[in-house]
Amino acid sequence: MSTLLRRRGGRGTRSLGQLAWDERGQDLVELTILTPLLLLIVLGIIEFGSLIDSQQAMSYLTREGANIASRGAPLGEVLTVTMDNASELRLDERGGVVVSRVRVRESGPEVEAQVSSPGYAAASRLGGPGDPVGVIAEAGLDEGTSVHVVELFYQRPMITPISGFFDGEIPTVMYDRAVF
């Protein structure tokens, strides 16, 4: 019977040593082990790329808004222009903009005027009109100087399902500000 198995190429005639060196199926096992890791890396690259893209867009918007405000545009117009240019981020649904004029007085800098996006409930990190602004005080500006601050708040949606793996490491609430 054993000669019959050998002639037909049966597996019953292989020794234990031969089976140990058999490499059939090794590629499938390696692929099975590595696929989740490779998928996690690809999704991470996509998510962090989106995060960087959002941060770049926010920086552009705040700088442009503060630049327009520093050239004498009314705060309401600066807010409108910034919101109109933020269509990519959909700030009307996912965040808001606060535009402030800060004047340096003898007692220190304070918020002189402020406007914020319609329907946006969160407050400026600078404070409200009449509040002292410590961040601007550190700049060492002369009394009577005015600066314009554009703050942008954004609730960034996750675009891949990897948030569970990084548990709070990928920010979803983003903030940027520019001072001119």
The ranges assigned to domains in the chain are 26-179
Q: How far is CA 7 from CA 10, 19, 108, 147, in A?
A: 8, 19, 98, 92
**10 Å Cβ neighbour count for 80?**
17
Which residue carries 């490499």 as its tokens? 23
Token readout for 172 is: 């979803």
Q: What does the pLDDT look like over 114-127, one tens digit per residue?
A: 999 987 877 899 99
For the chain, give the mean pLDDT.
Answer: 86
Which residue in the block uniquely carries the two structure tokens 């007692």?
A: 107
Token couple for 18: 């031969």
Residue 172 has pLDDT above 90, yes or no: no
> Hey, what are 162's tokens?
């990897």
Task: Please answer whether residues 114 and 123 qualify as being in contact, where contact means their C-beta atoms are separated by less than 8 angstroms.
Answer: no
61-85 confidence digits (pLDDT tens): 999 999 999 999 999 999 999 999 9
Predicted local confidence at residue 79, as pLDDT: 96
Pair type for strands 146-155 and 173-179: antiparallel
- Reduced to 3 states, what is the DSSP secondary structure of residue 114? strand
Report the C-alpha gap between 77 and 58 in whole angstroms.
18
Q: Is 47:170 a contact under the CB 8 Å cutoff?
A: yes
